[in-house]
Structure 1
Amino acid sequence: MTSGYAAGAPGLRRALEAFRDSPLTDAEQNRRSDHWLWLAGRNAVAILDDELLHTLATRNVQLAREAGALATLPAALSFLSITSVLMGELARAGELAAEATTITRATGGVQLRHAHLILGAWRGDHAGTTALDASTTRDVAYPDGGTEVVLAQYAMAVLHNGLGNYSAAREAAARTCESQELSLSSAGLPELVEACVRDGHPEQAAAALEELDSRARATGTPWARGLAARSRALTSTGSTAEDGYREAVDELTNSRMTAHLARTHLVYGEWLRREGRRQDARNQLRTAHDMLTDMGAEAFAARAGRELRATGEHPRSRTTQPTDALTAQELHIARLVATGATSREVGEQLFLSPRTIEAHLRNIFRKLGITSRRQLRELRFP
């Protein structure tokens, strides 16, 4: 904050690595970690380090579960949900967000909306995401410029980039990047570049790219380098653009951020089609469409589908799965039971009674057309 991102990033990384390497056997260390891991995880996003982010977000949930910390578990679950979205695991993200909501409702706490907002945005749910954004903006509990409101702006940037509403995406992303919290601006910068390029604001795109490039050089992670390369390609032409897209695909392939990898194939394919290279475009767009469809990022998948049809190829339809009929909470319970957990064990993890779990199981069996836990273990889960 005082000397600039490049000066602060190495020290921030050392701090996050210390959290990662802390032993889990020391009860006092566990207690301290539980109080600080939420901040450590957010700063892993600030330096765009996907490995640290995954480790810290997962550990935060693990420690909160082990301690039975109902006050902190919903926030930890929400953060892991957002992490899962970026990793392309949208079904898993929905289960975690639903669990956080259930626990908060049971304990009478304040509901955190940002996990549902970001999940809805990546899914392309315009009505649901817009309604959540509006309710967050109106809620006096969330001041303008606060984390919840800025996270809502990030969600709106993703939503509108997916839907192709680039003017609205640019406005939302610009507000996200104004945040002094580095995790929010780091997440918002690639959204701002894409929206500015598509909305015809090259100077604003160049400024955002310069900042993103600087952060990527300071951190050197595949996630950061991949996002910077993709953003550089979006602002470039000719061989420079192609080199950028290829670099972005290579870097993001080596990261956990599958959702951003899929979007990189999408914008690369869009560029190739506009260059008149239809066969090359098909390869990228087909990959993007398949990845985005499978993860449930429907608006981005629809974008890939439209581009693919423009090349003369009809995109494949998503294969309906039996588990599609389940709610996020039911899917979460089914997944746990399929691992062999008893109703009591599942109830203890989700802070529900065994009787409630059994009631959910009856609904799950009915929806799936099965009658036993053995059949549940044989199902394929998203």
Structure 2
Amino acid sequence: MTETAPLRGRHRELMELGALMDRARAGHSGALIVSGEAGVGKTALLDRMAARAATDVRVERIVASESEMELAYAGLQQLCGHMMGSSGRLPAPQREAIEAAFGLRQASAPSPFLVGLALLGLLTEAAGDRTLLCIVDDAQWLDEASARAVAFAARRLDVEGIVIVLAMRTVNEVFAGLRQLVVEGVGDDDARELLRLAVPGGLDQRVRDQLIAEARGNPLALRELPWALSPAEIAGGFTLTGSIPLESRIEQSLVAQLEPLPESVRLLLLLAAADPTGDPGLLWRASAALGLGPEDFDAARNADALAVGTRVGFRHPLVRSAVYRAASPQDRRRVHAALADVTSVEHDPDRRAWHRASATLRPDEEVAADLERSAVRARTRGGAAAAGAFLERAAELTPAPVRRVQRLIAAAEAKHEAGAPAAALHLLDTARDHPLTALQEALVARLRARAGYALHRDSSGPQLLLAAAQGLEGLDPVLARDTYIEALSAAIYGGRLGDAEQVAAVSNAILEATAAEEPDAAEEPSPAEESGRARDLILRGQALLAAKGQEAAIDTLRRAQRAFLEQAPDSLELHWMWFASRAAQDLWDARGLRALADRQVELARVEGVVTVLPIALSLLMVAQTVDGELDAAEASCDEIDAIKDVTGHPLPQYGRFFLAAYRGQAGEAEPLAEQIRADAQARGEGYGLSAVNFGEAILYNGLGRFAEAVASGCRELPYTHELSHAMRTLLELVEAATHTGELALAEQAFEQLANVTRPVGTNWALAVLVMAEAQLHEGDEAQALYLDAIDRFERERIPIMVGRCRLLYGEELNRQGRHADAREQLRAAYEVLSGIGLSGFAGRAARELSASGETLRVRAHGSAAQLTDQELNVARLAREGLTNRDIGARLFISARTAEYHLRKVFMKLGIRGRAELKTALADDGRS
């Protein structure tokens, strides 16, 4: 391919782009944001990069358009147009998601992350054995759904031989964190040379110097601004003004150059600017409708303003925006009307609806209804932002006031769902001057409360949500129930850092509103009746728990748990089930916790609701830890981290912290504790403080640092009524205090523990209580209690506590001088604890064995310490039997990347295949 003249002043940028391509040819993928002001030369760099791509490089290139920003996945569909032939090789959930996103199949709204993963798969398939270069120019105009999918794929690239380059003016938050190449203006010497080439006849020195100063090294400005000067001005008789932004001045210059063209040619350029698809056939048909002919196309080409080939394009992306902005509103409506007339209602109904709306000045119900149907389709494709834009324009064009308000509320709801609560509130403000029905008033109040709380997270949120819920009673009971649970969530969110009076007020209001849900002890409902009332029961149960305490809520919460497990799953269940899982922990119900956690994760994955998945996985991790499956819990943490990496989900690293605490890894746990504690204080989240105190008590008990465990445990004594981590810390405090000789403190912790375990009466609760009580006794009495606790924990299948209980029993036997009996318990404790991975407690058992007269070497770390975090993540999932494709789906990487990391794992561990992973990883503290 013949290269054009060298780009002046761009050696650094070209070297970086070339290095990126060289790494891709060697199999290492990469993504790069090329940023800089309009006209600074980003497109020229991309042109040169594409021109230098060898025949072994496949190039896919698009230019995003401002007018496409409201069409969900419009940019992605344009990028993937030539790749969809490979979609059949994608995993079914990914293929279905991207087909739904493009409107190729009827389905529920696809998960944006499944769409992103499908894009990664398509790019990998398109690359094959070649290098793939994907270029997106003017990426700031990508619609939000497309931008998130592209950013998702860009962050997950690894060893596929793929390069994604995105050119944009400023980097928005969607692309934050990606590697960036900032393109700045060229130096004065290069600027002078560019100006000399632009004006061969020469410039007055004062004019030249002023132009260089005004252009600030912007190559397009240096090339285009002189064309707007008259001969007198070129000779020095003018004064430039910097009051107009440079981008606007460049656009004015571009428009000025087009003014000599006939009106029909300028209309053709406007038509091309209004159609972002770049479809030549569409442009020909629309131009014919406007009475434009081949001579207009020839004139546009001759003026170097338009290029028509396989796609329609402008010589610079700024020409498109300049032409469109300079046009009169009347001319814009003309070209949009022509485009609407020739756009297929069957194959592209949404773009046609948008063109029709852009061509319409006065209210028109037919056009508004068309937009509303487009909003419905946008929702099914996962485009909440697009749905909001369609509905907002539909409301503007709706003649009937009641219908207009209905669409305004729907638009505000969509904007809120899309993460734009401020925009939602602005739309609701426009509804103030319209007459509202009772239901509309209630809906506005609810949405205003939700959006306001999302923006400010202040103390007024729970009360506003409660008032909105009460306003919906009798109008929409289902929505009222949902709003009540949001109010309760907002009220109890702060825990000890929140407002106790507000929690009580919200809880009591819910109890009054749900009085009909009070369980009838004399009559046991059928499973069918129970399943239909799961959410009603959990709402009332949590309100009882917050207002009246554990004992008052037990029966209702148990019925709610049973209902959630028996009822047919639905999407609403996902957003409520975490309450049921929380209840299982508060009721010391190990089996219920396992079942609910498994179900919520399964539903979140099937539905593709990745916003819920981190919370669900956190609960699953708790269940896995209780089961002694720390490796599985670590894999859940890996998945949470992968989701957080691509979504920015704010969930703190509770899972990593607890795993480090259980494993006795103070070097990892203590910095995490400090981070979580500071975050909890900043966010007013008492739950975080409780989690840190509980985890620290576990860590320090495992390491035998009992005074520090006492300090952490004592912080939870005033908050036992919160249940959750606070009540679990009491067992740790009993253990720590008995080891430091603070028996009065141990007795106090035991009594408070009895208050939250005896009323529940489950085997898990009683096992915990008996284990605590055993530490307050000696001799035969202690022995009987320890054996009872061990038996209960074994029947509940909680090995983590079986091992700890045997450790305490062995220590007691050692104190009695019964060393032979102690060794039996301590060996069993060591085997259980080290097998699970509780290295701190296992080390404590080994030291106690040594005190009993037996030497036992603590297991050393194995060769898995050589693995990187990503290699270890892949190895863990492969050990569980997942395929490379499944591993990729869990960790949001390509199957090829999973395969690459697995090969490195085999090499580092010196093994031949997956069957050897369990043994190779078993002896390592990280596994």
Calculate the TM-score normalised by the size of structure 2: 0.39
- Taking the TM superposition and a 5 Å limit, the aligned residue runs for 1:59-208 are 59-139=599-679, 142-143=682-683, 146-179=686-719, 180-208=721-749
- One-letter amino acid matched to 1:129: A
Partner SS for 2:595 = helix
Residues 6-31 of structure 1: per-residue CA shift (max 9 Å, x gap): 3322322222222222224xxxxx21
Tell me how far 1:117 sits from its aligned partner. Answer: 0.8
Inter-CA distance 260–133: structure 2 relative to 1 (3 Å threshold): same
Calculate the TM-score normalised by the size of structure 1: 0.90
Residues 164-210 of structure 1: per-residue CA shift (max 9 Å, x gap): 22222122123234444321223212112112222232222222212
Residues 123-170 of structure 1: per-residue CA shift (max 9 Å, x gap): 001111111111122236754662122111111010111112222212
Distance 2:697 2:799 in 1: 19
Distance 1:232 1:351 in 2: 47
- One-letter amino acid matched to 2:585: V
Partner SS for 1:139 = helix
Partner SS for 2:715 = helix
Distance 2:724 2:755 in 1: 15
Are positions 1:51 and 2:596 aligned together?
no
Distance 1:89 1:342 in 2: 21
Please tell me whether the aligned partners of residues 763 and 796 of structure 2 are also in contact (alpha carbons under 8 angstroms). yes
- Which is further off, 124-133 or 331-340? 331-340
Please tell me whether the aligned partners of residues 614 and 643 of structure 2 are also in contact (alpha carbons under 8 angstroms). yes
Distance 2:870 2:759 in 1: 40
Distance 2:770 2:881 in 1: 44
- Which is further off, 356-365 or 301-310? 356-365
Are positions 1:377 and 2:915 aligned together?
yes
Report the structure number with the largest CA radius of gyration: 2
Please tell me whether the aligned partners of residues 136 and 142 of structure 1 are also in contact (alpha carbons under 8 angstroms). no
- One-letter amino acid matched to 2:791: D
Partner SS for 2:893 = coil
Q: What is the match of residue 406 of structure 2?
A: none
Are positions 1:305 and 2:305 aligned together?
no
What is the number of residues matched between the two proteins? 374
Please tell me whether the aligned partners of residues 75 and 112 of structure 1 are also in contact (alpha carbons under 8 angstroms). no
Distance 2:565 2:868 in 1: 33
Q: What is the match of residue 759 of structure 2?
A: 218
Please tell me whether the aligned partners of residues 272 and 281 of structure 1 are also in contact (alpha carbons under 8 angstroms). yes
Tell me how far 1:93 sits from its aligned partner. Answer: 1.4
Q: CA RMSD in A?
A: 2.3
Q: What is the match of residue 363 of structure 1?
A: 904
Unaligned runs of 5+ in 2: 1-545, 923-927
Inter-CA distance 163–193: structure 2 relative to 1 (3 Å threshold): same
Inter-CA distance 141–217: structure 2 relative to 1 (3 Å threshold): closer
- One-letter amino acid matched to 1:88: G
Are positions 1:275 and 2:813 aligned together?
no
Are positions 1:9 and 2:9 aligned together?
no
Tell me how far 1:268 sits from its aligned partner. Answer: 0.4
Tell me how far 1:294 sits from its aligned partner. Answer: 1.3
Distance 1:210 1:306 in 2: 31
Q: Which one of 775, 796, 820 corresponds to residue 234 of structure 1?
A: 775
The structure whose residues are more often helix, as a share, is 1
Unaligned runs of 5+ in 1: 25-29
Q: What is the match of residue 533 of structure 2?
A: none
Q: What is the match of residue 266 of structure 1?
A: 807
Inter-CA distance 327–50: structure 2 relative to 1 (3 Å threshold): farther
Distance 1:140 1:249 in 2: 36
Distance 1:359 1:196 in 2: 50
- One-letter amino acid matched to 1:61: V
Distance 1:87 1:208 in 2: 25
Q: What is the match of residue 541 of structure 2?
A: none
Distance 1:160 1:168 in 2: 6
Please tell me whether the aligned partners of residues 635 and 877 of structure 2 are also in contact (alpha carbons under 8 angstroms). no
Distance 1:76 1:269 in 2: 37
Partner SS for 2:594 = helix
Residues 34-68 of structure 1: per-residue CA shift (max 9 Å, x gap): 10222221221111111011111111211111112
Tell me how far 1:322 sits from its aligned partner. Answer: 6.2
Please tell me whether the aligned partners of residues 713 and 730 of structure 2 are also in contact (alpha carbons under 8 angstroms). yes
Higher RCO, 1 vs 2 (CA within 8 Å, ≥6 residues apart):
1
Inter-CA distance 339–298: structure 2 relative to 1 (3 Å threshold): closer
Inter-CA distance 246–49: structure 2 relative to 1 (3 Å threshold): same
